[in-house]
Amino acid sequence: MAEPGAGLERVLEALELLLRPPGGSAERGGGAVPGPEGAPRLETLLSNASALEERLRREPRWEALRGLRCAVLARAPALAAGAADEADPCWAAACALLALLLCLKERLAALAAAPSARGAGAGPGPGGAPPPSADTLSVAQGRAVGRALRAAVGLGLVPYLPPGVGQLPGSPAPPPVPRATGGARLHAATAALTELAQHPALGAPLLARHLGLLLASLCLLGHGPAAYSEGVSEAERARCRETLQHILDRIYQPLAVRELLILQGRPKQSPPSPGEETKPALVRAPAWLRRLCGQLLSERLMRPSGVQAVVRGIMEGTDGGAGAEAAAVDWRKCDAVAKILASCPQQCRSLQEYYRLVCPQVLGLLHIQDKLTARQFQRVATTTLLTMVKEHPQLAEKYLLQPLLAPLLRCSETAELVMEDLSAGAVLVTEAELGSCVEDVLKVYVVGNDSSSLLLGSLQSVLGVVFSLYSFAKQNVSYLRSPCQEILLWFLEKSEREVSLAVLEGFAGLNSIVPTLHPRCRFCAGGEGGATIAVEETISDEDDALYQKISLEQCHIESLVELLSHCQKSGLAGDFFIRCLQALTHVAVEDEVASNLAAAPGGSLLELEQYHAGQRRKLLVLQLVATLCESISDTVFTDVAQVQEFVAATLQRACASPARGPGAAVEAQTLSMAMGLVAAMLGGAVQLQSSDFTVLKRLVPLLEELSRTYPEPVTQELASDLRIAICTHGAFSPGTLGAAADGVLGKKPGTGVQRPAGIPSGAPSLGGGRAPSWHSHSNSSAPMERSEEQTLSHEPSTTGPALAPCTDSPAGLQELLVSAYDPQPPSRAAALRCLTSLITQRDPEALRLQEKLLQVFLENVQHEDAFVYLSAIQGIALLSSEYPERILPILLAEYRCPARGTEDATATITRMKLGEVLMRVTQALGDMVFKHREPLVQAFLQGARDPDSALRASSLSNLGELCQHLGFQLGSIVQEVTSCVTAIAKTDPEAEVRRAAVHVVVVLLRGLSEKATEVLRDVLRDLYRLLKYVVVAEPDGATKLHAQLALEELDAVMRRVLFPPQTLEKKIVVLP
């Protein structure tokens, strides 16, 4: 009998002979390679089969192969009949190939079982690699086997699969085959291939390249309609079902999921996803196959590690590297996977059982360490968790949130720990477990950013432990400080204000709404920069225990103040400071009652314990207020309402407990500071609106009570004056308020405060004594005040005669309004300048008539004299910059639709003047112009379409300047601006308008500079093409020059971005 090795070579030679391309034999591994699902041409197959049969019959060295093939065909009668069938040469060639591949499997098995093969695998030499097994194929042999498998699958499976079953995207449909013979032939080929798949050397290439077609055949034979399985017995169909399950359980599970998804095909009427229009669409599978693939996919999901297999099978559509990063960015795919995981399959016994199996695996996705896939896995896990929380909150809390928070809940004060069974120093939570828990909470809660009540409530149950860990990490060097701080700030931002304040009080120890760390637990520094939670040793010395407790409370308060320093913009820090001051008021009220209770003889132990708890709370309040006063910024209050609440808390404390005894001086000084703060606000330190006075009126009852009950006369008088000033909206401003304001603002007596909003120009100085009110103020000081105002506002002195009445009385204001219509341009211009000066001085009568003043200015804008209309433009610009919410809409309406009854030329000139006003307002508003971005841009875009060319050019110029002011705040309007500028530069008949359109681009690039690549990234290519078009096709020389300048500016910007100047610098990083 021939050696197994020689028999293996003979089988491979026969395979190459059968698949040899026309034109002669090729070297092993060479020749034409059949298509992925096809074979050589029909005439080539017939010729090669005849040559192979001739050799098998005549040559003696092929006798062993002939006998082996006869034995194989005897075990597979369907293949034997097909090989002898001359009516269908393709099926005959497929049977011949499958028979040779089965012979190859027999030879490989014989080689592996030979005694010489077992002796050859004795082991590697020193430092050498282990020798390959005897049945290992060489590279050339592997290529030959691969070609044979490809041809066998293409000839034996593909022609017998119905449309929609196993077809790859973009592949042509096979020719129809009669169903009478198709089922039996498909079963024979499938049985042979599944037998080949059992051998490692043949199963690896077969399952790696042809798994989808093999699964499709098994699905059709085992689960398909009976019409496609004619000639196949029920026992054979059952074996096909078993084989299908065996292969699916054996192979790499993400690959199984992916192949099943391809077999399932696209859903009904599903449009391609964005970005996938160029990919070949999946074929439409039959309904029975879609249902079957859905069941098989659900089974894959319910297996151990099934969630990760499903996620990898769907997301691993790339070859790693940049492809994996692209998949991570594809959030739509991540969300689709999350929806699949959150939906319970129909074959699952119960929803609770599904959550019990799947939820631990979902949490496991958060711990993927592979950097290429960690982002997408974490997004899938977070989205799945949030979806489950929304759909089934109770089950999600039991199987997701509680296991997620288990390390923190384990050491909470609400946990039932049997401390007697735990020795001192025993570790409750390891460093790795605690660090992973904190990172998972950050990913799910903060990154997921879903502020549902269930999530906030579950996080609140461990918030005290997180705060204790944050305080510990702040005192030590630990990477956990930053994630803990983000978690705490996220909760305080997303919760309702009252809940956030209660939680902050819990952090300070003022209430028990937040469960804290168990008293027997403590944090210890970990070896990897984290922390562990261990059982604390009992301290026998009471002094040491007290010192440790006080130190811990002090550390928590400092950490709380540090946390509040990040909450000042939202106003939470100010509200909490006010809440502490209100608690301090309760301390002052309850102090005497608590002292009497402690001094009363015969008190019970419960009363004594309550007394000590109250004393501890008072000390905590005092310590907290003191730390806040020392550490918090002076910008803690963000609005007048918070200042009012702060002052109200101080006044309530003064009314409830007037200053007596040793602390009387401090209490009096605190009260004086609070009242001085209100006086400073009324004196102009803050621009007050009518709504602010509504808030301040809440202080009136407290001020009235203080003016009647407080023992100090000066404080009584100041409280009475403040009450009157608030009730009169600052119209009555006695000297006591000025003195109090000077004390707060740190000014010397007599200097006064600056006189802004709400205080008349003739009002008495806040630093002086009691002075007459503004309507009886002396004329002797008016010239000096007017001269100072002229100097400050840079007004010319030619308006002297008209300025005299502008600060004296309402009658003077009426005279100015009349003079604003004087036929003489100098008098009219002087009156307009004086009215502008009144607005600058915030004269109350002028501010009350601001709409009338605006009408006067708008009418004078139409005057032909430059001195008159420029003065009117200045007045409108100043009025609009001070009150943009009220004035700017009126100006925009006038700019869009001029007053009726005016000629077209006059209306155009007026609109151009109003455009100058809007530009001055834009410059005065600064960054606040973003709030009025949309109406301004719409107005200028409308002006760019006006029939008058001068107005179109003016509107484009204004549009460019506005975009330059907006800078990074351009946002989506850059698309509209680009479209408008492009259309005008290419189509407008007037050269000056086209010149203005190109100038908009120049101004944009010059104003944004290096920021242009970021702000204009979506339209930069369009702007570049526009400029190149203008340079080439524009007939106007000035317009072409503007375009060349813009191209040079763009070139300079891109050079600075692409080739930044190299600077040598040293960086010193100080670890926290």
User: Mind giving me the DSSP string for 1028-1066?
Assistant: HHHHHH---HHHHHHHHHHHHHHHHHHHHHHSPPP----
pLDDT tens across 808-836, in order?
445 577 777 777 887 777 778 888 888 88
What pLDDT sits at residue 469? 92
Work out the percent of the chain whose per-residue pLDDT is above 70.
Answer: 78
Name the average pLDDT for the chain: 76
Confidence band (pLDDT; 50, 70, 90) for 29?
very low
Q: Who contacts 732 (Cβ-Cβ below 8 Å, separation ≥6)?
A: 721, 724, 725, 773
Q: Which two tokens stand for residue 882?
A: 């001070």
Q: What is the mean predicted confidence (pLDDT) over 193-198?
A: 90
Give the lowest-confidence range in 123-132, 622-631, 952-961, 964-973.
123-132
Side-by-side strand order, sheet with 427-429 = 427-429, 531-535, 521-525
What pLDDT sits at residue 423? 76
Q: What are phi and psi of 956, to 5 degrees?
A: -65, -40
For residue 533, list its beta bridge partners: 429, 523
Q: Which two tokens stand for residue 904?
A: 């077209």
pLDDT tens across 557-588, in order?
888 888 888 887 788 888 888 888 777 777 66
What pLDDT sits at residue 182? 78
Where is mean pLDDT largest: 57-66, 387-396, 1017-1026?
Answer: 387-396
- State how far the Cα of 1010 lies from the Cα of 1013, in Å rounded to an integer: 7
Confidence band (pLDDT; 50, 70, 90) for 314?
confident
Is the per-residue pLDDT at 785 higher than 50? no
Q: What is the mean predicted confidence (pLDDT) over 426-434?
A: 90
Give the lowest-confidence range in 336-340, 431-435, 642-646.
642-646
Is the per-residue pLDDT at 487 higher than 90? yes
Q: What is the mean predicted confidence (pLDDT) over 315-325?
A: 53
Per-residue burial over 243-254, b if 16 or more Cβ lie within 10 Å, else e, is bbeebbeebebb
What pLDDT sits at residue 806? 45
Where is mean pLDDT largest: 20-24, 34-38, 437-441, 693-697?
Answer: 437-441
Burial class (CB in 10 A: 0-12, 13-18, 19+), 122: exposed
Integer Rg of the chain from CA: 44
Q: Of residues 170 and 1015, which shows the higher confidence score? A: 1015
Element of type H or E holding 904: helix 904-925
Burial class (CB in 10 A: 0-12, 13-18, 19+), 928: exposed
pLDDT tens across 909-957, in order?
878 877 777 777 777 777 777 777 778 877 888 788 888 888 888 888 8
Is the per-residue pLDDT at 447 higher than 50? yes
pTM of this structure: 0.59
Specify whether the CB–CB gap between 425 and 385 falls below 8 A: no
Specify whether the CB–CB gap between 829 and 871 falls below 8 A: yes
- State how far the Cα of 106 lies from the Cα of 104, in Å rounded to an integer: 5
Q: Which two tokens stand for residue 460?
A: 């609140």
Q: How far apart are the first and last CA of the chain?
A: 80
What pLDDT sits at residue 790? 33
For residue 521, list its beta bridge partners: 535
Is the per-residue pLDDT at 894 higher than 80? no
Q: What is the mean predicted confidence (pLDDT) over 597-609?
A: 60
Q: What is the mean predicted confidence (pLDDT) over 83-110?
A: 83
Q: Of residues 968 and 410, which shows the higher confidence score? A: 410
Q: Of residues 899 and 399, which shows the higher confidence score? A: 399
- Helix or strand or coil: residue 524? strand
Query: Hey, what long-range contacts does 902-907 have (CB within 8 A, 24 or more apart)?
Result: 902/862, 904/948, 906/862
What pLDDT sits at residue 880? 74
Q: Of residues 192 and 772, which shows the higher confidence score? A: 192
Q: Of residues 744 and 178, which shows the higher confidence score? A: 178
Confidence band (pLDDT; 50, 70, 90) for 704?
confident
Specify whether the CB–CB gap between 447 and 382 falls below 8 A: yes
What pLDDT sits at residue 1012? 73
What pLDDT sits at residue 904? 66
